[in-house]
Amino acid sequence: MRKLYLFIRAIPKTLYFNFKYLPFKKAIKLPIIVSHRVWLMETKGRVSLTAAEIKPAMIKIGFGEVGIFDQMKERSVLKLEGSMMFQGRANIGHGCKICIGSEGKLTFGNEIIITAESSIICNKEIYIADKAMISWETLIMDTDLHPIYDESKNVINSDEKIEIGEKVWIGCRCTILKGVKLEKGSIIAAGTTVSKAIKKEGQEKENCLFAGSPPKILRERVEW
């Protein structure tokens, strides 16, 4: 019954979101379901859906359950001034906050899962590849938000692109900062702060387990 209740409550925002952003032939299929618990703070930007096959409810925003959070009270936020692209299925869990600046470009690959209460701040570019999973209370941001200047008044902390590779698993309460590139199959342990590309012997490594701040490789050739 609760799932039916949540679906019915989602109808107004779902209709608004799909028909505002998508061409009619895509919008009529209602591929994006938006929970009534999502605050659409800004809807000035652009949303595109590039999947080869468009199906109803292939993208869900503001749904799902994580046992330590109150799904019925937590609120998601979407502030969209730049562009957001979906390349396939995605589930952005309840309580997640997404802020995309006017120059920001946020791209989700196929089969993306973000469980709950995570935040993404995108002022430049963030790319999350296929089958990535992001656990609860993770922060991803490609900007410091406030500029820092040198003695000549030049900005020394410019925004930098973030790339999260295919089938990357980011544990709960991680922080992924600007300029980071996570290679395919990486596992980032809970509570890790990543502020730059992780390398071993000067090379970026795939299918490794990373932990710590700064992170180190704990195991190689891992899968999940």
121 Rama sector, left if φ>0, alpha if ψ -120 to 50, beta otherwise: beta
| Maximum separation of any 2 CA atoms in the chain, in Å | 62
pLDDT at 201: 55
CB-based burial, 170-205: b 16+ in 10 Å, e otherwise = bbbbbbbbbbbbbbbbbbbbeebebeeebeeeeeeb
> What's the pTM?
0.94
Domains of the chain in sequence order: 2-220 (2.160.10.10)
Mean pLDDT, the chain, whole residue set: 94
Q: What is the pLDDT of residues 168-217, one digit of tens each?
A: 999 999 999 999 999 999 999 999 999 987 766 556 789 999 999 889 99
Task: Yes or no: say if 143 and 158 are a contact pair by the CB < 8 Å rule.
Answer: no
pLDDT for 72 equals 78
pLDDT, one tens digit per residue, over 50-102 is: 999 999 999 999 998 888 888 778 899 999 999 999 999 999 999 999 999 99
Q: Which strand (E) or helix (H) includes residue 19?
A: helix 2-21
3 state DSSP class of 6: helix
pLDDT of residue 202: 54
